[in-house]
Amino acid sequence: MKNTLKHPLLHLVIGIISLLLLYFSTSFLNPTPDYSNFKASLNEKETIAEQIIKELISAQTANNFSYNNKYSKLNKDKGLSFYIIKDNKLNYWTNRSIYFSPYLNEFSEKNGLVKLKNGWYQYLIKNSNHKTYLALILIKHNYTIKNKYLKNSFHKSFEISDDVEITKNIGERIQSKNGKILLSLNQIKKDNISSSKKNNWLLLLFFFIGYFSIISFISKQTRKTTVFRIFSPIIVIAFIVISRIILLYVHPFTSLFNQDLFSPTIFAQSVFLPSLGDLIISTVLFALIIYYLSRAIQKVNPYNKSIIYIIVIACSLFTLVLANLLKGLVINSKINFDINYLLDLNAHSFSGIGAITLLFIALILFVKISINHFLDKAFKRNQLITIFWTASLLAVIIGHFFMEISAFLTSWILLVILAFSFKTNSKISFYRSVFLVLVVSITTSYGFINLGKEKEQVNKEFIAKKLAKERDPVTEYLFKGLKEKIEADSLVKISAPTYYENKDIIDKHIIDRYFGGHFSKYDINVITYCREQDPIFIEADNSSVNCLSFFQNKIEKETDDPFLINKSLNFLYSEEGVSSYLAILNITSSDTTDNDNWSLFIELFPKVFSKTEGYPELLLNQKDVSTPINTNNYSFAKYKKGKLIDNAGKFNYSIELSNQYRFNDDGFFRATFDSAYHVIYQSDKNTSIILSSPQKTIFNYITTFSYFFIITSILVLVIGLFFRISPFNWQIALNDFSTKIQLFIIGSIFLSFMLFSLGTSYYIKKQYLEKNKTQLAEKVQSVLIELEHKLGDKTKLSSDLYDEMTYYLVKFSNVFYTDINLYDKTGILLATSRPEIFERGLISEQMNPEAFNQIHIHKKSSFTHNENIGELNYISTYVPFRNEKQKILAYMNLPYFAKQNELENELSSFYTALINIYGLLFLISTIIAVFFANYISEPVRMIKNKISALQLGKSYDLLEWDSNDEIGALVFEYNKKVLELEKSANLLIKSERESAWREMAKQVAHEIKNPLTPMKLSIQQLQRVAKDNPKDLNERIERTAKTLIEQIDTLTKIANEFSSFAKMPSAEVEKINLIPIIETTIDLYQEESMTISLTESCEGVANIIADKDHISRAFNNLIKNATQAIPENTAGKIDVLISQKENYFLIEIKDNGIGISDDKKDKIFVPNFTTKTTGMGLGLAMVKNIIENANGNIWFETKENIGTSFFISLPIET
């Protein structure tokens, strides 16, 4: 299974499938809508609507208004609303969000489709008992305004994409239950899937999976081919670089590259980094290049000095590039990187931080790999470090003095080089890794903080200029509708020729009737009527000029943007610093004696900043909504002639502006006082704006560092776990005692943070709602008292008093900063301080049905609940309004729009402070957990090490522990057992030594006896022959001497064999590569009749720590044995396989020899045992000794007449 997963073709298939899915993702993400499901759902709702109408007819509901939760649930789940109309008056309703006329002019049939002000509806009408019963089925919202609250979407129950549009006859036709065609659905054709510009991170994941899989295929395939094996890393790097350059200019995956992530409006640095998405891709690929460079460098001649100089220059230049990139990411983007306000950050923020941090880590790895490879080869340690350090120092100086790059953003590389300048062991290596993480964290946090300050200064200047201008998009939007009403007003039209005769009356009529509600924030000045040929007298110049030309010149001279001049309303900003709107209305006189066209000029002067925030956004398209100033981050004040006229935020401003500031040529002055940074902008001689933000404290710097330390640690941990590249080749030992303690401490901190934050947020929300209800109740009583004072003498409130009621509602709305609605006793709107919301059809003129039921039917003294307009939720309170005689005249409603952002701001402030504190605590707890766990587990680790070091025949060190605790008891028992073990071991060793010598003596005696016997017989025979003194005596002596010499040589060989086994030379361990050693051994035994092959999956590198000569002798012996085990009449085949496991190399030597019989398996590694006719049987015993001295293991598997496989495992060099 594992081999299958590693197969190159599988990786290629995965890569191609992933990229194809990405290429055709348009089809997956924009599937064809299920129109049949839509039709079935609509017909089901039609059936339900018919049943409810029958229920309403049977219940005679219009005679007794009763609120039913069932109808509220139907409206929420199915989009069904029901109404009863009698005598052209609405008597019953279940939903107040739909605006239509009770005359039902919009409904021409009994069953059909209607487009109302806020959406498309299917309607059903039934008449019974002189009443009209109406059911409306919401199909799709269709607001004239689009923003985050008002979205043109189908009702959720239809489960259909909002990209489908409703038409009359184009597309899929949808029929009612009786077969009548209601509408057609047509999917909007889009060129690109991502026209919405929303990020789909799954697409980026598909891209990386496909890209990485193809790279893996190329890497594995080139390593398998002998010709390309040595160039494999270079080929992969070349592929990455070339493909990345191509992707910069060719975008085959439009669904990915049209994401918001790849928009240059968010971030753009250069032609090579045109977006944040490109930065992420380039960063990940650069890290991948570093990984393959670590392989490529292993094949570079370590004595090549020119390569070192190239690498040193590359490292120095990239340090400058990285610092410049960090600066560009902060300055040249719209992304917020102020990590102290964590909840204000988004995915773009964390992507940018992660990309920069990954580049820092990648450069550190490149420096480490380069130094390790060339160290003590081309240059000595001190020389190599000096070269790296000098070049990097030069880069720091060049960057600081010639490229305006802070030395703090580049000097970190000097510390990194110094960290690699000394030798380390495993413990020091860990602390060095921690030090490197600290270096990266401090550098990145410093960079983001200080560059963020620089960017904030620019943003403050922009905001200050914007505040000085006072342009209001809500006013501009609402005036479009207001203009039509004024131009159609009969009094305005008929009064044009005689305007100056009745100026006061006409001005009051225009102001009172049309400039209430939102426009009450302005002082209104009706200037004049004039025709094309009329003059106007200018008092300042004591002259007359053409009226229309005068105002046209004024607009062109004072407009804040020449490209936004229009014919109806223009925002002006005079040299004296006075901002205003100038409105131009085209009036056609209705006077029969004068049919000329007149122009009416009206000026709107802002009083103060608007205090309301939530409500006006409902009336603006999203593109017109300006980002509000976050008063958690900023405070601001406006001064006119040195006097404070308005302010917002937490900073306490002076009521008079000091004249000590010296403004620059652009009108700005920067200062720091009262623990805040201030930008003071003088837009003109009379107007000044102060924009302030809290000064960074030491706590802010520490928390910022803690966040970056956590982010860097996570990235380093991931790299260490998956790639295992030094110095970040960390491993988590979950079974380790100290790790368990660390995880317990960190987990406890995290769990307490979650529980505390959840509990506190619940408490804050609850307290906030209670506080709001209390404040709203108090405000209701205050408004009631004021209204009763003004309208309490009335016996009836009707539409005849509309202007008077509206005047007071607007007046009190501005006083109490809340909106006010008055409904008659039938639940229909009488007057409102915010008529725009009803005029735009966002809600109807009926009371909320639940509120009407509680107040009118159940006679409650007040009723407060949650309501919504679109997706804007707010608190709303209803109370009866009584006159002086305690008679109920109407029902007053206060919708609490303006306070909707306060809860979010309050929770945001709380979570920000909480996360900052816990971010710091998390860092501190992690550090404490590491050191405390190590301290606690040190005695256990010490005992473990001592136990693992116990060897028979060696000295036994006792442990010392002063405390009389559990560990002390454990140490005492350990020492006791060690002493007992030492005593037993000595006895055992003595016994084994005696036994071993006896066995050895017997073996030596046996081996010596074999040559001694023929020697004795030869001498005896020679003695007998010598007595007879034969003629060939000399010849016989010569023959006997030759025999004796041969047997003496045999004895010498026996002595040497035993000496060699008893006295192995001491090992000289070093870092060696197994593969070349095995290749050399194979070459020695390669014959025509013998096929010996080597297969390895380690890319030519299998480094271990061992004695090179000993290892060579071991593999010589094993391969020699394999060749000798193959019968003469068999074609020999020996396979040597090398593979890398988790932490060791596995070598298999497999032959097709005769195998080993079962009775000999147990003795194969026993000294002096052999299956051959020659030799002493010490070879495999010696091999076993060598392998075990290298901390390895050896074993074998065999089948008779099939062959034998010897397996050797040797630990990987770390």
Shared-domain flag, residues 1020 and 1111: no
pLDDT of amino acid 353: 92
Shared-domain flag, residues 878 and 1014: no
> What is the rounded CA–CA span in Å between residue 1196 and residue 1205?
6
| pLDDT tens-digit map of 290-300 | 888 877 887 78
> What is the rounded CA–CA span in Å between residue 629 and residue 5?
54
Shared-domain flag, residues 898 and 972: no
Shared-domain flag, residues 81 and 121: yes
Shared-domain flag, residues 815 and 835: yes
pLDDT band at 281 (very low <50, low <70, confident <90, very high): very high
Of 39-48, 176-185, 1058-1067, 1152-1161, the least confident: 1058-1067
Number of H helices, E strands in the chain: 29, 31
pLDDT of amino acid 1093: 87
> What is the rounded CA–CA span in Å between residue 494 and residue 693?
54
pLDDT of amino acid 644: 87
- Reading the block at residue 420, the tokens are 């690699």
Q: Which amino acid is at 102?
A: P
C-beta separation of 496 from 589 below 8 A:
yes
pLDDT band at 392 (very low <50, low <70, confident <90, very high): very high
Between residues 835 and 764, the one the model is more confident about:
835
| pLDDT tens-digit map of 205-244 | 889 999 999 998 998 888 887 778 788 888 999 999 999 9
pLDDT of amino acid 849: 92
Shared-domain flag, residues 42 and 185: yes
Shared-domain flag, residues 811 and 852: yes
Between residues 1065 and 855, the one the model is more confident about:
855
CB count in 10 Å sphere of residue 181: 13
pLDDT at position 427 over 70: no
Please say which residue of 585, 608, 631 terminates a domain. Answer: 608
C-beta separation of 463 from 682 below 8 A:
no
- Is residue 357 situated within a structural domain? no
Of 106-120, 450-464, 509-523, 1122-1136, the least confident: 509-523
pLDDT band at 779 (very low <50, low <70, confident <90, very high): confident
- Reading the block at residue 871, the tokens are 């997706």
Of 61-70, 826-835, 1083-1092, the least confident: 61-70
**pTM, whole model, 2 decimals?**
0.67
CB count in 10 Å sphere of residue 668: 18
- According to DSSP, the β-strands at 1132-1140 and 1090-1096 are parallel
Between residues 738 and 756, the one the model is more confident about:
756
Shared-domain flag, residues 148 and 184: yes
- Is residue 135 situated within a structural domain? yes
pLDDT of amino acid 192: 45
Element (H, E) at 86: strand 80-86
> What is the rounded CA–CA span in Å between residue 101 and residue 80?
18
| pLDDT tens-digit map of 975-1021 | 787 777 777 777 776 676 666 566 666 666 656 665 666 677 677 77
pLDDT of amino acid 282: 92
Mean pLDDT of the 572-592 span = 78
1109: domain CATH number is 3.30.565.10
- Is residue 412 situated within a structural domain? no
964 Cβ contact list (under 8 Å, min separation 6) = none
pLDDT of amino acid 594: 59
Q: Which amino acid is at 319?
A: T
Mean pLDDT of the 753-776 span = 76
| pLDDT tens-digit map of 1122-1177 | 888 888 878 888 999 998 887 889 999 999 888 888 877 777 776 654 454 444 44
- Is residue 439 situated within a structural domain? no
Note down the domain range covering 106: 31-189
pLDDT of amino acid 991: 73
pLDDT at position 592 over 60: no
Shared-domain flag, residues 504 and 587: yes
Mean pLDDT of the 818-843 span = 88
Shared-domain flag, residues 860 and 885: yes
pLDDT of amino acid 904: 60
1017: domain CATH number is 1.10.287
pLDDT of amino acid 63: 54
- Reading the block at residue 1032, the tokens are 């060939």
Shared-domain flag, residues 36 and 170: yes
- Is residue 1072 situated within a structural domain? yes
pLDDT of amino acid 134: 94
Alpha-carbon torsion 1178, 1180, 1183, 1187, what sign?
A: negative
How far is C-alpha 905 from the chain's CA centre? 23
pLDDT of amino acid 593: 60
pLDDT of amino acid 1173: 43
Mean pLDDT of the 32-53 span = 89
Q: How far is CA 876 from CA 115, 611, 818, in A?
A: 28, 19, 11
Mean pLDDT of the 474-501 span = 84
Between residues 231 and 79, the one the model is more confident about:
79
pLDDT of amino acid 613: 40
- Number of structural domains found in the chain: 5
Which of 658-667, 842-851, 941-950, 1049-1058 reaches the highest mean pLDDT? Answer: 842-851
Question: For the chain, what is the mean pLDDT?
Answer: 81
Q: What phi-psi label fits residue 1099: left (phi over 0), alpha (psi between -120 and 50 degrees) or beta? A: left
pLDDT at position 852 over 60: yes
pLDDT band at 622 (very low <50, low <70, confident <90, very high): low
pLDDT of amino acid 560: 65
Please say which residue of 588, 608, 628 terminates a domain. Answer: 608
pLDDT band at 617 (very low <50, low <70, confident <90, very high): low
pLDDT of amino acid 125: 94
> What is the rounded CA–CA span in Å between residue 624 and residue 473?
6
> What is the rounded CA–CA span in Å between residue 410 and residue 222?
38
> What is the rounded CA–CA span in Å between residue 556 and residue 577?
16
pLDDT at position 1212 over 80: yes
> Length of the chain in residues, anyone?
1214
> What is the rounded CA–CA span in Å between residue 601 and residue 607?
19
- Is residue 973 situated within a structural domain? yes
pLDDT at position 157 over 50: yes
- Is residue 795 situated within a structural domain? yes
pLDDT band at 359 (very low <50, low <70, confident <90, very high): very high
pLDDT of amino acid 278: 92
> What is the rounded CA–CA span in Å between residue 889 and residue 797?
6
3-state secondary structure 565-615: CCCCEEEEECCCCCEEEEEEEEEECCCCCCCCEEEEEEEEEECCCCCCCCC
Shared-domain flag, residues 1107 and 1164: yes
Q: What are phi and psi of 844, to 5 degrees?
A: -90, 180
Mean pLDDT of the 589-617 span = 67
- Reading the block at residue 1136, the tokens are 């040597």
pLDDT at position 1067 over 70: no
pLDDT of amino acid 1141: 84
pLDDT band at 620 (very low <50, low <70, confident <90, very high): low
> What is the rounded CA–CA span in Å between residue 421 and residue 385?
6
**Could you tell me what percent of the chain has a pLDDT over 70?**
83
pLDDT of amino acid 1013: 61
- Is residue 114 situated within a structural domain? yes
Please say which residue of 130, 155, 189 terminates a domain. Answer: 189
